[in-house]
Each structure stands twice: as C-alpha cells, then as structure tokens.
C-alpha cells in the first residue's frame, strides 16, 4: 500500500507539472544537461516504529542524474545519503591489557546510509524544473565505537562495530531553480522524500553499556525505518545537451 501511494503521488506530480507547462508561453529553451551531479544537506524526521526509537537525524546526500531523452523529462538517478541519528562521548572504566581498569574516553556514532537507484520524471515550467521520482536499494545501519588512552607507553585501543544491511525504497519530489543565469547551469535543488527500510538491528544513544568489570556490551533494537527527509542542495551539469527543445513538447 505504501509503495502504491508513492507512485500515485509521483504520477500526480508529473500530470500537474505537465498541465502547468502547457499553460505557459510557447518558446524554445536550451536542452538540459545529460549528466548532472549534486550534493546537499539533509534533515530527517523518523516516523512509525523508527520514530519511537529515534528523535531526528541530520546528514548529507549526493546524487548523479543521467537524462535518457533529449528534452530531459526522463532520467535515471543514483543516490547516496548519510544520516547521523546519535553520537556520544563519555568517560568509562575499561579493562586494561596491563591489568586493572583504566579511564577511557569512549566515543560512538550511530549512522544510517542509503544507496539507491531509480527513475526520475521532470518537466520545465519556465526556467524551473519540478520533478518526482522513486528509488530502491539498500539501507546500511552502522555504529562505530572507539576509545584510546595511553598507559605507561602502551596504547589502550578499543573498537566495536554494530551493523546491518536491509532492503529499502523511497519516493521524492522537488524543484530545481537555476542560480547561474540559465537553465543549463548550476541550480538550487529543494526537495522532500520518504524512505522506508525493512526491519533492521541498530543501536541508539545509550545502547552501549560498560559494566563494573570494564566490559562493553551492546543492546541493539529492531525496527523498520521510516523517515521523512527534507533536502537543500545544488546540482551541477557535467555533460550538457547540444540541442534545444520545445517547452511545449
């Protein structure tokens, strides 16, 4: 049901954008670039089961978009995004290789990463290009824990890793607004997306426990990950189109 909603919203967005385009004045515009790349900042609001475990997440996303047709209406898009949903740094007593317990600054970062591929549809409305799309791929849940402390010329190093990889899919909508004077140059990319992953095992802040004996134990939870994400970034043309296209096509 969720994936049907995503594709339904994508189709509705394309139809509305096409209607707006048909109402605009006819004319010729520069063909959009065949290949674009972009990067942006992301903020996420977890919902559902994931929202009961995580309050928020922030990170970065990068993408590459290859336009299939000359007019630039249909493209294949590859996305990679990183979101951090919690980090911690605390002084703990860990068992030393020399015997006894030693103070260590234990640092942890809880991360969620998506790598996905899927179609994207867009139409020009003047110089602006609204777009909708869907994608599928993998979600990576990763927590790195590290601590280091020198003791009598001996370095006490502690590293722990908790990870899981599951299937994920999502849908997005947004708009690209030229900021370099023409429709084929650098553009501001504003968008929102919904991401869903299968049930995965992950750690939250506070799920890493050190007992009185100086032993680290992990207490992961399991849940599906549902997030609403907003994105602010820029896209840059890599390969430009040579032909012009009718905006009324």
Our CA angle for 147, 101, 151, nearest 5°, is: 60
For 132-142, the pLDDT digits (tens) are 999 999 999 99
For 24-72, the pLDDT digits (tens) are 433 444 566 789 999 999 999 999 989 999 999 999 999 999 999 888 8
- pLDDT at position 77 is 97
- pLDDT at position 248 is 39
- pLDDT at position 121 is 96
Share of the chain above pLDDT 70, in %: 73
pLDDT mean over 77-95 = 86
Distances (CA, A) of 212 to 96, 112, 152, 186, 215: 13, 31, 23, 56, 7
Indicate the length of the chain as a whole number.
249
Contacts of 160 (CB under 8 A, 6+ apart): 144, 145, 146, 208, 216, 218
Do the beta carbons of residue 203 and residue 195 sit within 8 Å?
no
Residue 243 above 50 pLDDT? Answer: no
Task: Delimit the domains of the chain by residue range.
Answer: 2-24+33-239
Question: Which of 17-31, 111-125, 178-192 has the least mean pLDDT?
Answer: 17-31
Question: Does domain 2-24+33-239 match CATH 2.60.40.10?
Answer: no
Around Cβ 27, how many Cβ atoms within 10 Å? 10
Rounded to 10 degrees, the C-alpha dihedral 23/25/30/36 comes to: -30
């Amino acid at each position: 049901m969720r994936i049907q909603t995503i594709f339904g919203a994508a189709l509705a967005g394309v139809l509305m954008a096409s209607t707006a385009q048909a109402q605009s004045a006819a004319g010729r515009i520069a063909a959009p670039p065949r290949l674009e790349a972009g990067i942006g900042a992301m903020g996420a609001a977890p919902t559902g089961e994931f929202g009961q475990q995580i309050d928020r997440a922030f990170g970065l996303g990068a993408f590459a978009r290859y336009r299939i047709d000359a007019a630039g209406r249909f493209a294949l898009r590859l996305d990679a995004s990183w979101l951090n949903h919690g980090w911690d740094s605390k002084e703990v007593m860990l068992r030393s290789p020399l015997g006894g317990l030693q103070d260590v600054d234990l640092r942890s970062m809880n991360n969620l990463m998506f790598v996905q591929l899927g179609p994207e549809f867009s139409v020009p409305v003047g110089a602006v290009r609204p777009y909708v799309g869907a994608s599928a791929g993998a979600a990576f849940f990763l927590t790195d824990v590290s601590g280091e402390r020198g003791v009598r010329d001996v370095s006490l190093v502690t590293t722990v890793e908790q990870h899981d990889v599951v299937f994920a899919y999502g849908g997005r909508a947004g708009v690209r607004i030229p900021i370099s004077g023409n429709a084929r140059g650098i553009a501001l990319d504003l968008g929102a997306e919904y991401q869903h992953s299968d049930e995965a095992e992950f750690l939250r802040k506070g799920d890493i426990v050190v007992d009185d004996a100086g032993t680290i134990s992990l207490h992961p939870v399991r849940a599906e990950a549902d997030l609403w994400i907003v994105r602010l970034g820029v896209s840059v043309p890599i390969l430009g189109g040579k032909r012009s296209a009718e905006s009324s096509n």
